[in-house]
Amino acid sequence: MTDFKRSSFGTKRPLYRSLFYLMGVALTFNSSLTTATSLDYRVLVNPIVQQQPEALMSEGLQAQFAANQSLSKSWLSDSTSITVTHENDALTDDMGTQNWAMGVEFSLLLPKQKDALLGVSDAYKKQLGVQQSYLNWLASGKLRQLVWQYSKAEIALNFAESALKKSLELQDNVKMKVEVGDSTELDLLMAEKFVLEQQSLVSQKQGLLALAKNKFQLWTKSSQLPSDITEARHSEWKVENHPQLRWMQSAYEVSKAEYTQQKTRNKAGPSFFVGAQKDQNSIEDNTYLFIEVSVPIGSSPENQKNLAEKQQTQQVQKAELLRAQQQLEEAVLAAEQAIMINESNQKLAQQQNHIAQKTLQLAEQSYQLGESSIQSLLLIQKSALEAELNLELASASLEEAIADANQVKGYGLTILKEGN
């Protein structure tokens, strides 16, 4: 059976190795410790993580965390203002009366308001904590897509080149038979036409591989596929540990904390004005200190509007979280079904390839003996090449389906700790 080689990194992976891998999958079905991927594969996640649009949120989340934490440690709810007042009757009277007053005005946070602000800060801190695993999961999905597009394009090109080589060998064989009078010129023309078809196919597959390679290089900054892109199959997953749901849950917790913080603003804290005043006229000169306390009654209508908006945002995020969970559960079922379908396809492709190769051997013998036409041999050879290609693609599709299932279940391309 023909070996499949990855020309970009110079290693060979015979088809029997793919079958051996499938046997290994059954033995490691219950493993949930690590993905069976090479280190040079997993490191390619890093450059993709940096290119995720969601990575731009880190700075904003950090600022929100710091701002709310700082405010929760303060007793002041607003900025402090200084007021200076001066009264003078020089233009309206001749009593020589002048009043000077200067004071500081500030508002205090209530204990519940401080606790609510701290809750918002903690919520943003938790969201920062789950962001990296979420970004890694997103990048892993992109990387898995890129490597399998690249790998399948290489498989197709390698088999197209193999088919071209065999068609050239057949052409040489037919030419020798024509020279000795065992075949006609028509046979040679048919063989040459088949060679041209294979050359066109090689050119087409080269273009597809170049496109896949360029996409891979754009995202990973690397031009070569990793040495091993196969993965262990993870049968178990916990919905509460899924990076996407954890990210959405953290956003929902932020909304809950902000809603609670908005509710505490319905009852504003007291405001104080502390200062000194000096009254001066032609008879006396008095200086005294004063303090004013302002206690709000009721709540601002604008605050009620903001509270309603926060509540709506919270409800929308809760609905999105539940919908995402339902979609993931359906996606997991579909991914497991895809593995079963690809396992079946791989077995059928193996049987079809076995029959096709045996048929080709008989057809070649028959043509050499002059018992069949070149047309029959070309059709059978083309069918045999397609069967061999389909078998290798079926094996690759099964490995890709396993990787897709791991992605759906939330397994990123990192060393996973037990329980994740």
The residues, any chain, with a CB within 8 Å of residue 238's CB and separated by 6 or more, are none
Q: Is residue 213 part of a domain?
A: yes
Task: Give pLDDT, residue 179.
Answer: 85
Q: Is residue 377 part of a domain?
A: yes
Task: Give pLDDT, residue 215.
Answer: 95
In angstroms, rounded to a whole number, what is the distance separating the alpha carbons of residues 262 and 116? 8
Q: Is residue 12 part of a domain?
A: no
In angstroms, rounded to a whole number, what is the distance separating the alpha carbons of residues 133 and 414? 10
CB-CB contact of 33 with 418 (8 Å): yes
Task: Give pLDDT, residue 246.
Answer: 93
In angstroms, rounded to a whole number, what is the distance separating the alpha carbons of residues 277 and 234? 77
Q: Is residue 90 part of a domain?
A: yes
Per-residue pLDDT of the chain (420 residues; tens, 9 = 90+): 333 333 333 333 333 333 333 333 333 333 333 444 678 888 898 889 888 888 888 777 877 777 777 676 766 666 677 878 877 766 666 666 778 778 787 677 777 877 888 888 888 889 888 988 999 999 999 999 999 999 999 999 999 999 899 889 888 988 888 888 877 888 889 889 989 999 999 999 999 999 999 999 999 998 889 888 988 888 888 888 899 999 999 999 998 988 888 788 777 767 777 778 877 776 777 887 878 777 777 666 677 778 888 888 889 989 999 999 999 999 999 999 999 999 999 999 999 999 999 999 999 889 888 888 888 888 898 899 899 999 999 999 999 999 999 999 999 887 444 343
| Cross-strand pairs, 288 | 277
Q: Is residue 295 part of a domain?
A: yes
Q: Is residue 2 part of a domain?
A: no
CB-CB contact of 105 with 272 (8 Å): yes
Task: Give pLDDT, residue 296.
Answer: 72
The CATH number covering residue 321 comes to 1.20.1600.10
Q: Is residue 132 part of a domain?
A: yes
The total of structural domains in the chain comes to: 1
Strand arrangement of the beta sheet that strand 98-107 belongs to: 81-88, 98-107, 271-280, 285-294
Q: Is residue 221 part of a domain?
A: yes
pTM (predicted TM-score) = 0.74
Domain that holds residue 124: 17-408
Task: Give pLDDT, residue 90.
Answer: 63
Closest CA to 107 of 265, 278, 342, 231: 265
**390: Cα separation from own chain's centroid:** 30
Task: Give pLDDT, residue 113.
Answer: 78
Closest CA to 1 of 343, 400, 392: 392
